[in-house]
Amino acid sequence: MLTVEAEAKVPKADVSAQIELPSMPLLSFSEAGLIGQEQFETLNHKVKKGQTMSGIFTDLGLSQALLLKIIKHNEDGKRLTKVMPGTVLNFKIDAQKQLKSLQFDPSDKETLSIVVNEGEVSTELVAHELQTQLVTAKGSITHSLFGAGKQAGLTDKMVMQLAHIFSWDIDFVLEIRQGDSFSLIYEKVYKNGEYITDGKILAASFTNQGKAYEAVYFESEEGDGAYYAPNGRSMKKAFLRAPLNFSYISSNFNPRRKHPITKRIKAHRGIDYRAPKGTPVFAAGNGKVIQSSYNKFNGNYVFVQHPNGIVTKYLHFSKRAVKKGARVKQGQTIGYVGSTGMSTASHLHYEFVYNGVHRNPRTVSLPKAEPLAKNKMPAFERMASPLLAELSGLNQRLVVAN
Ligand SMILES: [Zn+2]
């Protein structure tokens, strides 16, 4: 009763002061006390190639039994056995030469703290706060897409990511020309102000032979992200423009030379892609393998039946990767470029047959791509319009902080 009365007389401000007092000083006391009494030594050790954790512990005069105990403690502890050369290990060692804590980054994305308190091990894995910055880049093609990408400050990986977005609209092997241009907005990821990696492309445009394509990344509430044209239709379509990866080929790309093959499309009813032997060839669309065989004309060849009366044919493989009857998905490797059969040089002969008639896949009209659901369009447009505006006003090189 007395206590209650006493407390009741204390003004509100003092009550709050009493509440804070026990916690605040206690924390700082315990830190000060530990530092004052125990005198830690802090040691940073950069792991060298060929060095083992056991060797490092021995060098520092630390117990092998303790190392074993940490490794066996849990999955975090086990990561001590997988430390890469170059990793900096931060040891705190007390006056009795006992390990008190060990801290290091097992990856770019996290820090692991191992604390030893009176022989007991505890671990804590903390994910780093990463900062994402949006960056813009633009380029114009003079000799090759990779060259233009490099000039625009893009990694080859980012160039491939960019090309992938438009790979249902543009044949990056045969149709890229001098003067084609691109612009994009993409993420750069930083940790403590230090660049780690590139993230996603949020929006991009590509102008190929005068025709402009635009795409915006959009993540629906279900969490699946994909690229959409400004009208909300998916960039993914039933057929890839080129059934092979341009990155194997573009080193030979010469934009000044008209590709001789395109002129011959009618004559031999297909498109020839010159490519090094072994270049993977993809199914242009989902379908079923109706032929996978060899003859002296086609060499190793694969035919795929798709919906809507479309058949695609792939000839002269060095090696086939699918059997007759197999279901294949768009982009799945079905064989490798070669020069088998009636062929004088390593290339893929590709045919696109629509209701029994050979067609140019570039000009044949195909079913339209899937649109976003109507109820998703407002959110998509909110996301897309500032990005598209940024793309079209791409005079300023650098950008928007996130
Ligand atoms: Zn051919």
Question: Going from the N-terminus, what domains does the chain have, and what CATH number goes with each?
Answer: 41-127 (3.10.450.350), 130-237+372-402 (3.10.450.350), 242-368 (2.70.70.10)
CA of 156 relative to ligand 1 center, distance in Å:
30
Q: Phi and psi of 388, rounded to 5°?
A: -65, -35
pLDDT band for 248, please (50, 70, 90 cuts): confident
Lowest mean pLDDT among 3-17, 258-272, 284-298, 305-319: 3-17
What is the phi-psi region of residue 78: left when phi exceeds 0, alpha when psi lies from -120 to 50, beta otherwise?
Answer: alpha
Which range among 5-19, 26-40, 113-127, 384-398 shows the weakest confidence by mean pLDDT?
Answer: 5-19
DSSP structural state of residue 87: P
Residue 210's alpha-carbon distances to 11, 106, 230, 275, in angstroms, are: 77, 48, 18, 26
Find the 328 Cα to ligand 1 centroid distance in Å.
23
Distance 348 CA to ligand 1 centre (A): 7
What is the distance in A from the centroid of ligand 1 to the CA of 257?
19
Task: Kindly report, residue by residue over 63-90, the tens digit of the pLDDT.
Answer: 999 999 999 999 999 999 888 999 999 9
Mind listing the pLDDT tens digit for each residue in 204-243? 999 999 999 999 999 977 778 999 999 999 999 999 999 9
pLDDT at position 95 is 84
| Other Cβ atoms within 10 Å of 284 Cβ, number | 26
How far apart are the CA of 235 and the centre of ligand 1, in A? 29
> Ligand 1: distance of its center to the CA of 316 in Å?
9
- The two tokens of residue 241 are 């423009």
What's at 173, amino acid-wise? V
Please say whether the beta carbons of 287 and 347 come within 8 A: no
Distance, CA of 15 to CA of 109 (rounded, Å): 43
Q: Which pTM does this prediction carry?
A: 0.70
Kindly report the number of other CB atoms within 10 A of residue 258's CB atom.
10
Does residue 181 surpass a pLDDT of 90? yes
The alpha carbon of 300 and the centre of ligand 1 are apart by a number of angstroms equal to: 13
**Cα of 114 to ligand 1 centre, how many Å?**
63
Residue 1 — pLDDT band, cuts 50, 70, 90?
very low
Write down the mean pLDDT value for the chain: 83
3-state SS, residue 301: strand
Mean pLDDT score, 255-267: 43
